[in-house]
Amino acid sequence: MAFSIHLFRLAKLNSEFKYVANSVVRETPRYAYPAVIDINEWQQGMLLQLDEWYRSIPEAPGCDYIRTICQVRCQSLRMLVLRPSPAIPNPSLEALRRCYAASRETLLLFDQLYKQNLLIHTWNTCHSTVLGIITMMYCIKMVPDIARQTSLDTLMSDFSAGLGVLAATGEHWSGAKRCRDILDDMVRATIRWIKDVTSQPSAFESQNQHRSPRTEPTNVQTANQYNDSTDLNGTSAARLGLSETLSHPMTMASMTAGVSSTFMPQDPFESFLASNSFVEQLQMGDADNLDSIMRGLFDDFIPTYPNVS
């Protein structure tokens, strides 16, 4: 009962977030929440309430699962409050750093449940995991110093935790496996982009987000550690999943040694990691297109029913 009451309080905060941050109608009805004068002040107040809610999660013996679920729900809402929204389309760098930390914690909590055989493979599990991975990649792109200040081993391990959860969920939902394959390609592209970022000076963040220096592919083929079709010796090799690559010690030196700075020209996610803003990266003009992209990841989860005549 204590956990139910506590989750109900979080649901009230979630409702306020949806109304204030995602509302596109600024004429507030009298019966709804009070009009927000300073959206940044409201955001900080919401984060303080989430911190207080997190600290007051009930502790009871034998309730590790529901307690972890409470932590996941709180980190997921914190991530939504800090990431771009109609009310705050351009969050501060500090907000994006905290958003990255929340999304990372969400993936690690799901990974913890999976390792303890407590993970329930529901729609919420898949959706929260996908959202966490995408948010991590977005924050890394918008705040390159996150990649500079985080070891590559840690980044790979965090991404692998999320992909592992999706792989396990894929045994029950075919759509989760497809999501995992798509995100695996995006993670690979992100790691290649991080390799470029770490070679840039730290002043990169204070300037406008310029396109990373890349050259057009030449006739000289260089072995690429992330090429899906060749190994380091130039011979054909089967594609390895991200989790498989973690079985080998991985450092920045080993990642960059012998790797060409030229990306695969057919990489479908190069534009995602190269443009100036999130909207330009996905060539979106409004939120409806983003909804379409996210819907495409989850198409296999949408139930279909035969026509009854």
Decide if pLDDT at 264 tops 60.
no
- What does residue 236 show for φ and ψ, rounded to 5 degrees? -70, 140
- Highest mean pLDDT pick, 34-48, 126-140, 241-255, 282-296: 126-140
105 beta partners: none
Domain span at 296: 129-199+226-300
> The whole model's pTM is what?
0.66
Share of the chain above pLDDT 70, in %: 61
Please check whether residue 274 is in contact with residue 225, taking contact to mean a CB–CB distance below 8 angstroms: no
Which has more pLDDT, 35 or 95? Answer: 95
Q: Which tokens belong to 168?
A: 């396990």
For residue 123, is it within any domain?
no
Tally the domains of the chain. 1
- Across the range 10-32, mean pLDDT stands at 80
Which has more pLDDT, 66 or 275? Answer: 66
- Residue 82: pLDDT band (50, 70, 90) is very high
For residue 95, is it within any domain?
no
Decide if pLDDT at 254 tops 60.
no
For residue 183, is it within any domain?
yes
Note the residue count of the chain. Answer: 309
Decide if pLDDT at 268 tops 80.
no
Share of the chain above pLDDT 90, in %: 42
For residue 276, is it within any domain?
yes
For residue 53, is it within any domain?
no
- Across the range 31-41, mean pLDDT stands at 78
Decide if pLDDT at 54 tops 90.
yes
For residue 117, is it within any domain?
no
Spatial neighbors of 116 by CB under 8 A, at least 6 apart, are 64
pLDDT at position 161: 95
Environment class of 139 (CB within 10 Å of its CB; exposed 0-12, middle 13-18, buried 19+): buried
Output the furthest CA–CA distance in the chain (Å, rounded).
69
For residue 113, is it within any domain?
no
- Across the range 88-101, mean pLDDT stands at 94
- Residue 175: pLDDT band (50, 70, 90) is confident
For residue 240, is it within any domain?
yes
In three-state secondary structure terms, 38 is coil
- Residue 20: pLDDT band (50, 70, 90) is confident
Dihedral of the alpha carbons of 266, 268, 271, 273, in degrees to the nearest 10:
-110
- Across the range 281-291, mean pLDDT stands at 45
pLDDT mean across residues, the chain: 74
pLDDT at position 26: 62
pLDDT at position 129: 94
- Across the range 116-126, mean pLDDT stands at 90
